[in-house]
Amino acid sequence: MTQELSGQYATHDVTNQPPPLSPYDASEDAALLEGVRREGAGWAEEDIRRLGMRAGSAQAQEWGEQANRHEPELRTHDRYGHRVDEVEFHPSWHHLMRVAVAEGLAAAPWADERPGAHVARTAGGLVWGHTEAGHGCPTSMTYAAVPVLRRQPELAKVYEPLLTSREYDPELRVPTEKRGLLAGMGMTEKQGGSDVRTNTTTATPTAEPGVYTLRGHKWFTSAPMCDVFLVLAQAPGGLSCFLVPRILPDGSRNAFRIQRLKDKLGNRSNASSEPEFDGTVAWLVGPEGRGVKTIIEMVNCTRLDCVMSSATLMRKTLVEAGHHVRYRSAFGARLIDQPLMRHVLADLALESEAATTLTLRLAGAADRAVRGDDVDGAEAAFRRIATAVGKYWVTKRGPAFTAEALECLGGNGYVEESGMPRHYREAPLLSIWEGSGNVNALDVLRALSREPGTAEALFAELALAQGADARLDAAVTRLKGLLTTASEAGARRLVEQMALTLQASLLVRHAPTAIADAFCASRLDGDWGHAFGTLPDAADVDTILGRALPGGA
Ligand SMILES: Cc1cc2nc3c(=O)[nH]c(=O)nc-3n(C[C@H](O)[C@H](O)[C@H](O)COP(=O)(O)OP(=O)(O)OC[C@H]3O[C@@H](n4cnc5c(N)ncnc54)[C@H](O)[C@@H]3O)c2cc1C
C-alpha cells in the first residue's frame, strides 16, 4: 500500500458534512397526503407514495441534475443542408419524461373518470417535481391543451386519445401513427406577450374549410419538440386559435422553423424556442376571432401548474435545508438545535404548507368544476378567482423562499452541486409565464368586476372558517373593505391580502393548531418581519418542525 493510499499524507478528514439526502421519500409530507385525501384522491395515495420514493431515489435525482447540465441542442439543418429543426435532449430528459407521462402527469386525467383524478395528477406533480422542473413544461401544456381542443370536436376526436395516452413517444412522426402525443403553445411574439391582441402572425384560409396557412413568428414557444401546438394568429375574422402539427398527415414536415433556442436564467433542461411560420398548415380551433376566449381555458390549467411547481420548489428546498441543518454543527451545536435557525425553518415550513394546501384546494376545485360536480357552479367560480390569486402569490413567494432555503446550507448552498442554485433560478419563471405578476393581479380585478359569482365564491370559502380565529375574522372584514376601494394601482396589495386570508382560512380548517396559529399570528396580525425567520416568539416551532421535516425534528 502506498503512503498516500493508506491516508498517511492526507491533509484532512471530511467532517461536519451531511450524508447524501437520497434516497428519500418525496411524498413524506403530511400536508400533501392529508390534502390529497381531503380533495378526493385518497384512492391514489399508494401511487403517490410509490412515485415519491422514486422521485427521491439517487437515480431520479441524478436524471434531474444531468438533464439540466447537458442542455438541449438545436439542429436546424442536416449534413446535406436540409432543414430539420430538431432539438436533441440528453437521455436523462427522456427518462424523466417517460416516467412523468406514464404516471399520468400529462393529460391522462381527462381520460380518467374517477373523481379526484385531477387532484391525483397535481399531487403526482408535487412529488415528481422533486427531480427537476423543466420537464413539467411540456407535460403541463399537454394537460392544458385538451379542454381547448374540445372546442373543435372533430380534432379532439382524433387527438385527445393520443394526448391523454400514458406512453411517451418522442419520435417525430405523423401524430396519428404515434402511441402518445405532446402539445405546446405559441402565443407570445416579439412585440408583446401579455397583450396577445397585438399578435401579427397571419392566418390565411385555404379552399378547405377549417384549414389555414400561417405566416409570422413567435418569440417564445417552449418544448418545440412537441407534436402539436396551439397557436394564436390573425385570421380575417380576428385573432383566432389554431392547432399546428409538426408533421402533416401525409408524412411531410410542416413549416416550423426553429430560429434559436433561448439562453435562459433557469429551466435549462427544457428548450424554449423562436419558431417562424411560413405557409404553415394550421387547423382552426373554436370560432374565428375568438382566439383569446378559446385558449383561455388552457391558462386555468397551466396557472394551477405554476402554483403546484412553486409549492414543489418550496417543499424540495425545505427538505434539502432540513437535511443539511440536521447534520451540520456550528459553534458547538447542531444547526437544527439553534433557536434562530429553528425559526427560519419553521417560517419556511409554514409557507410551504400554506402553498401545498392551497395548491391541492385549487386542484380539487378544478376537478369538480371540469366534471360539473359542483353545486350551482360554485367550484368553477372559486377556481376562476382563486387560481389567479394563488398564481400571483405563491409564485411571488418562490424566489424569496428558495433563496432563504439555499442560505440554510451556507456557502454549500451557493454551489451548483448542491442543486440549490438550480431551484433558485427556476423560481422566478413561475411568476413570469402564464400571466406575469401584474397581469395576474389585474386579472383578479377583472374577475371581481366582470364575472358574477367569483367574489361570492371566495367569501363563501372564507366563511367556512368563520369564528375559529379572531385574527382571520378581522382579516376577512379588512378584505371586504379593501374590495370597495379596489384600484389598478392597488391590485397587488389586494390580491396579496386575498391570498394570505385564503391560505389562513385553509390552515385554520385543516392544519394542526400550531401551524394555523403561527400563520395567522405572522401573516395576518402584523407580528412578522420582512424576512423569513421572524415568527413571533410564542410560535410553537417544535410542533411546526416536527410535522414538516421528514424524520421529525
Ligand atoms: C422560459 C420561458 C418560456 C416561455 N414559453 C412560452 C411558450 O411556450 N409559449 C408562449 O406563448 N409564451 C411563452 N413564454 C412567454 C411568456 O408567457 C411571456 O414572457 C409573458 O406572458 C410576459 O409577456 P412579455 O414577455 O411579452 O412581457 P410584457 O407583456 O411586455 O410585460 C412586461 C411586464 O409588464 C407587466 N405588464 C403588462 N401589462 C401590464 C399592465 N397593464 N399594467 C401593469 N403591468 C403590466 C407584466 O406583468 C410584465 O412584468 C415563455 C417565457 C419564458 C421566460
Determine the distance separating the centroid of ligand 1 and the alpha carbon of 101, expressed in angstroms.
27
- Please report how many Cα atoms fall inside a 13 Å half-sphere around the Cα of residue 323, on the Cβ side: 22
Residue 9, pLDDT score: 61
169 or 6, higher pLDDT: 169
Residue 2, pLDDT score: 47
Q: Report whether 426 contacts 133 (CB < 8 A).
A: yes
Closest residue CA from atom 29 of ligand 1: 194
Q: Which atom of ligand 1 is nearest to the CA of 437?
A: 47
Closest residue CA from atom 31 of ligand 1: 194
Element (H, E) at 125: helix 117-128
Residue 1, pLDDT score: 44
Does residue 459 register a pLDDT over 60? Answer: yes
Q: Which of 201, 439, 442, 492 to mutate to test the pocket of ligand 1 (most atoms within 8 A of CB)?
A: 439
- Rounded Cα distance between 435 and 414, Å, is 29
Determine the distance separating the centroid of ligand 1 and the alpha carbon of 218, expressed in angstroms.
13
Element (H, E) at 129: none
Determine the distance separating the centroid of ligand 1 and the alpha carbon of 195, expressed in angstroms.
8
Q: How far is CA 468 from CA 62, 265, 377, 464, in A?
A: 45, 44, 27, 9
Band (pLDDT 50/70/90 cuts) for residue 487 is: very high
What pLDDT, in 10s, does the model give residues 325-361?
999 999 999 999 999 999 999 999 999 999 999 999 9
Q: What are phi and psi of 551, to 5 degrees?
A: 85, 5
Residue 392, pLDDT score: 98
Determine the distance separating the centroid of ligand 1 and the alpha carbon of 471, expressed in angstroms.
36
Q: Which domains does the chain have, with CATH numbers?
A: 30-289 (2.40.110.20), 293-548 (1.20.140.10)
Q: Which atom of ligand 1 is nearest to the CA of 264?
A: 1
What are the start-end ranges of the E strands in 16-125? Answer: 73-77, 83-88
Angle at 494 between CA 490 and CA 499, to 5 degrees: 150
Does residue 6 register a pLDDT over 70? Answer: no
Q: Report whether 236 contacts 229 (CB < 8 A).
A: no
Does residue 502 register a pLDDT over 50? Answer: yes
Determine the distance separating the centroid of ligand 1 and the alpha carbon of 264, expressed in angstroms.
14
What pLDDT, in 10s, does the model give residues 441-456?
999 999 999 998 999 9
Instruction: List CB contacts of 170: < 8 A, sequence separation 6 or more.
Output: 94, 97, 225
What pLDDT, in 10s, does the model give residues 97-126?
999 999 999 999 999 999 999 999 999 999
Closest residue by Cα to residue 245 from 145, 110, 144, 137: 145
The set of protein residues with a Cβ atom below 6 angstroms from ligand 1 is 184-188, 192-195, 220-222, 264, 267, 272, 429, 432-433, 436-439, 442
Q: Which atom of ligand 1 is nearest to the CA of 429?
A: 53
- Rounded Cα distance between 117 and 211, Å, is 34
Band (pLDDT 50/70/90 cuts) for residue 553 is: low
Q: Report whether 314 contacts 351 (CB < 8 A).
A: yes
Q: Which of 436, 443, 493 to mutate to test the pocket of ligand 1 (most atoms within 8 A of CB)?
A: 436
Closest residue CA from atom 49 of ligand 1: 436
Determine the distance separating the centroid of ligand 1 and the alpha carbon of 548, expressed in angstroms.
34
Q: Which atom of ligand 1 is nearest to the CA of 439?
A: 47
- Rounded Cα distance between 136 and 193, Å, is 21
Closest residue by Cα to residue 94 from 115, 118, 119, 72: 72
Q: How far is CA 141 from CA 146, 184, 319, 334, in A?
A: 9, 5, 28, 44
Does residue 552 register a pLDDT over 80? Answer: no
Residue 8, pLDDT score: 57
221: which 3 cell numbers?
414557444
- Rounded Cα distance between 356 and 38, Å, is 13
Does residue 7 register a pLDDT over 90? Answer: no
Closest residue CA from atom 23 of ligand 1: 193
Residue 551, pLDDT score: 78
Residue 462, pLDDT score: 98
Closest residue CA from atom 34 of ligand 1: 438
Determine the distance separating the centroid of ligand 1 and the alpha carbon of 193, expressed in angstroms.
5
Q: Report whether 472 contacts 516 (CB < 8 A).
A: no
Does residue 58 register a pLDDT over 70? Answer: yes
- Rounded Cα distance between 251 and 367, Å, is 37
Determine the distance separating the centroid of ligand 1 and the alpha carbon of 176, expressed in angstroms.
33
Answer left, alpha or beta for residue 435, where phi above 0 means left and psi between -120 and 50 means alpha: left
- Please report how many Cα atoms fall inside a 13 Å half-sphere around the Cα of residue 313, on the Cβ side: 35
- Rounded Cα distance between 362 and 358, Å, is 6
Q: Report whether 345 contacts 549 (CB < 8 A).
A: yes
DSSP letters for 174-216: -GGGSS---EEEE--BTTBSS-GGG---EEEE-SSTTEEEEEE
Determine the distance separating the centroid of ligand 1 and the alpha carbon of 209, expressed in angstroms.
33
The per-residue pLDDT of the chain, averaged, comes to 96
Q: Which atom of ligand 1 is nearest to the CA of 434?
A: 17
Q: What are phi and psi of 79, to 5 degrees?
A: -65, -20
pTM: 0.97
Band (pLDDT 50/70/90 cuts) for residue 374 is: confident
Determine the distance separating the centroid of ligand 1 and the alpha carbon of 535, expressed in angstroms.
34
404: which 3 cell numbers?
432563504
Q: Report whether 317 contacts 405 (CB < 8 A).
A: yes
Determine the distance separating the centroid of ligand 1 and the alpha carbon of 62, expressed in angstroms.
32
Does residue 34 register a pLDDT over 90? Answer: yes
- Rounded Cα distance between 359 and 186, Å, is 26
6 or 388, higher pLDDT: 388
Q: Report whether 284 contacts 244 (CB < 8 A).
A: no
330: which 3 cell numbers?
456550528
Q: Report whether 211 contacts 280 (CB < 8 A).
A: no
Residue 375, pLDDT score: 78
Closest residue by Cα to residue 99 from 47, 146, 144, 145: 47
Closest residue CA from atom 43 of ligand 1: 438
